[in-house]
Structure 1
């Protein structure tokens, strides 16, 4: 089955760009509520699956042993902007477990946060690994590795941390992973179908404190993300703005190359989507459209207007174009 048209860009009364993809809305038992494109299309979830990668951190007992807070667990699920609110907390986390920035294996890049980036550039200072948007996830990997008594190369696919992550990932998605690719932060990223990713998000949506160890872990991670949306991404970022717009009732997470997921606890539904051309603008618009369809995001909210329905302007503030839902999508 081919990808389904989802988001269009219109300029001067003409269709200028079109973005197609795959999307699934799913129940915890794997039954599909709605879908566009091919539910069984295999994708790399990239950073959208960080909450799955964080499950072993809690269910192993490592989080409790390290005394991790919900704010730290939100950072374990984050693709943060590298603002001081992020980097200070990651640095403190590493110090608390007796490690340093040198123990990270995620690499360094300039922070996404404009103030933090400006501060480094103006000071002619190179970013460190704590500025990496995945440093919270890696702090979680290090915490788990230390708890397991494993070696320092925790991103190696054969390391106990990644073997555990793969097993949990396959159980959460309900299907064996056909393989992995190396993510931007150097950790393996396990492939799955869009349906499998949505099923995993539905598991998170159904999870509660009354469940087993994994369900309690999933519930705590979802709660942490919605309680600290500013840590999951940052000011001006889609994940943070969408979670705030929905009043913390839904957790959302983006991934590179235009992947997006949503966890809807009240409806016990999971959502996963992938725009095949990798356009983040389109994935943000598409998840916004789905959240509106499911009744959890007000179509009149300024965030919905910003990501989906509002006009696009140029540098002079002149309206130049608009995003639209493609026919047959949402």
Structure 2
């Protein structure tokens, strides 16, 4: 069995002070593996990187949303005012409200989004768009909403079937995600296949058209999708990240220690191997000391090749 490999280094005042290990896979349009680093064939939990596939399962159940709401269904949004108002409008369209959401209450994500907000709410939780879409899918099918997160609910059964179909992999294990929804374990290769197969679908189109709704101000997905024409991407907790280009080239990443800050350096390096340059502002992040930059977080030279 392979193991995660060193990918990202943390350098402070000229000295390396730490490493982030991880695994990554890059596949070609025909499904062949172009690049494999670390452990890519053992199951792991994709976390919120699975949201586009969950949205695909809802579409297969007859959910029909405008592109902006479909992007929100696949989102880990920041809980900024427009995110919240859109989720609220989606719920009300199906005679539902915030009380019907079963995601846990949380504050918005990020300093700017939290400014002036002191009360945790379900609708400001980053997964509320997905949960609103799940409730809407139940409403149009006449399914009960009180237990919509039960893995045996018709909605969740349909979503799991869509995940298996898109990943071309069996679900190795089912758990519960941070938002309360069922979470399915897959290898990185399966996650990359999901993005490859969704990139030219209505979900891919919606994410490309509305990257800010997928994430929020200054968030990773917003920045990367805005910088690379045609690309779709989705972060997940615990250092997961996946993306695909319209020609079918796709990748999935897992940082072993769950470090969010290591995702973009690896993603930009993988894109560079595909000839996509000009992402220097995404390839490194500053290390701060006393509020001022004293170092950098960057890919280890030669780690991705």
TM-score bracket for the superposition, by shorter chain length = over 0.9
Please tell me whether the aligned partners of residues 61 and 158 of structure 2 are also in contact (alpha carbons under 8 angstroms): no
Structure 2 residue aligned with 1:148: 141
* 2:94 alignment counterpart: 97
Label 1:71 to 1:140 Cα distance change in 2 as closer, same or farther (>3 A). Answer: same
Q: Which residue of 2 aligns with 1:210?
A: none
Query: Unpaired runs of 5+ in structure 1?
Result: 208-218
2:23 equivalent in structure 1: 22
Check 1:322–1:173 CA distance in 2 against 1; reply closer, same or farther (3 A cut): closer
Contact 2:57 2:163 in 1 (8 A): no
Match of 2:50 in 1: 49
Q: Is the 8 A contact 1:203 1:270 kept in 2?
A: no
| Secondary structure of the structure 1 residue equivalent to 2:3 | coil
Q: Secondary structure at the match of 2:216?
A: coil
| Structure 1 contact 28–200 (Cα < 8 Å) conserved | no
Aligned match for 2:205, one of 204, 223, 231: 223
Q: What TM-score comes out, normalization by structure 1 length?
A: 0.87
The answer on 1:252 being equivalent to 2:230 is no
- Could you tell me which residue of structure 2 aligns to residue 180 of structure 1? 174
Whole-Å separation in 2 of the counterparts to 1:95 and 1:136: 13
Matched, 1:293 2:292: no
Q: Report the Cα offset of residue 9 of structure 1.
A: 1.0
Preserved CA contact (<8 Å) 1:42 1:192: yes
Between the aligned partners of 2:239 and 2:84, the Cα distance in structure 1 is 25
Please say if 1:272 is aligned against 2:252. yes
Q: How far off its partner does 1:288 sit?
A: 2.0
Q: How big is the shift at 1:154? A: 0.8
Give, in whole Å, the separation in 2 of the partners of 1:38 and 1:263: 20
Counterpart contact for 1:29–1:199, Cα < 8 Å: no
Q: In the alignment, is the contact (CA less than 8 A) between 2:57 and 2:160 conserved in 1?
A: no
Q: How many residues align?
A: 303
Deviations 1:79-127 (A, max 9, x none): 0000001000000110011100011111110001434412113xxxx22
Secondary structure of the structure 1 residue equivalent to 2:77 = coil
Shift of 1:263: 1.4
Task: Please give the TM-score of this superposition, normalised by the length of structure 2.
Answer: 0.94
Q: 1:107 to 1:311 in 2, by over 3 A?
A: closer
State the Cα RMSD in Å. Answer: 1.7
Which ranges in structure 2 are unaligned for 5 or more consecutive residues? none
